[in-house]
Amino acid sequence: MTYVDLIFFPKEKPTSIEIESEVTVVGKTGAEMESLNAVVTAALTIYDMCKAFDKNIEIDQIFLIKKTGGKSGQFIRGKYYT
């Protein structure tokens, strides 16, 4: 990996936080898995910090938005481009 970034977007209604990750790699590896793992880890960290206030916290809708390069070609949410 040559680059990893996490961006947090707090939302007021409903009270939530959107987490976005961007990963860049040089080698032939599943960068999307690293990016998804970063989002899951961030979400679990937030859950752990907030569970004392509310145990009804939900983690949901974790998905890949965009991927370029690799054997499978370009992917943009729901579509492959080869």
Question: Mean pLDDT for each consecutive 10-residue tract of the chain (82 residues)?
Answer: 92 91 81 91 96 92 84 72 56
Which residues are the active-site residues?
A: 48
pLDDT at 75: 77
Domains of the chain (ranges, CATH numbers): 3-81 (3.30.70.640)
| Per-residue pLDDT, 80 | 58
Residue 61: which region, alpha, beta or left (left: phi > 0; alpha: psi -120 to 50)?
left
The predicted model scores a pTM of 0.81
Q: Please return the burial class of 58, using the count of CB atoms within 10 Å of its CB with bins 0-12, 13-18 and 19+.
A: exposed
pLDDT at 68: 79
Give the pLDDT score at 79.
63
